[in-house]
Amino acid sequence: MQKVLVKNLIFDFGGVIVDIERDRSVNAFLELGLKEAENYLDPYHQSGFFLELEEGRIDADRFCELLGALCGRCVSFNQAKAAWMAFITDVPEYRLEYLESLADKYKLFLLSNTNPFIMDWARSPHFSRKGKRLDEYFNKMFLSYELKCVKPDTGIFKHLIAAGPDPRESVFIDDGPANIRTAQELGFMTLLTENGKDWRNQLGELL
């Protein structure tokens, strides 16, 4: 069988590019006063107004209002951002350097369920030790809150496909089994990774 030529690599953010730990963020929101924080936060798919934020149905200001009402206090953008940022435990430099090496041969895309609080950091020079923004590592980024849909729904993948990448020439790398299943149904080659693990050899074998 002739090997398919891979032209595009599509990466998830949390659990693939950066390491995450849900419980740290749950505890941070508990400290703000959100008593049922555990019910809202998930490593792959949020609930309630947390999901509405990642779906782009509410903006950062409205999120702070709703959070403040449940916490019984005024919650600023920076306070909410700090609680969201507790999700992020590490940005391994070796992964960023690997992305840079891949960019010589492939088009790189990011497809992520995320929100304006985390992206306020990731799209700033504070993201990497080299002062590079997340955007600088990818040809294009597809972010749930901007596209108003989240993985594993097919809608967000269709936004990606409409931008040019042919699923038959693309590898989708994600740590969420449900997201991988949707990608496979749409014809993508896939790699299921594990949060905190070095996936470079696995991807190298596919390429």
List active site positions: 12
**What's the Cα-to-Cα distance from 175 to each of 2, 11, 77, 102, 181, rounded to whole Å?**
28, 10, 28, 20, 11
Nearest Cα residue to 145 out of 55, 59, 72: 55
d(CA 169, CA 55): 28
d(CA 10, CA 172): 5
- What is the separation, in whole angstroms, between the first and last Cα of the chain? 15
d(CA 156, CA 150): 6
3-state SS assignment for residue 118: helix
Q: What amino acid is encoded at 20 in this protein?
A: I
Strands (E), 113-165: 140-143
Q: Which residues contact 207 (CB under 8 A, 6 or more apart)?
A: 6, 171
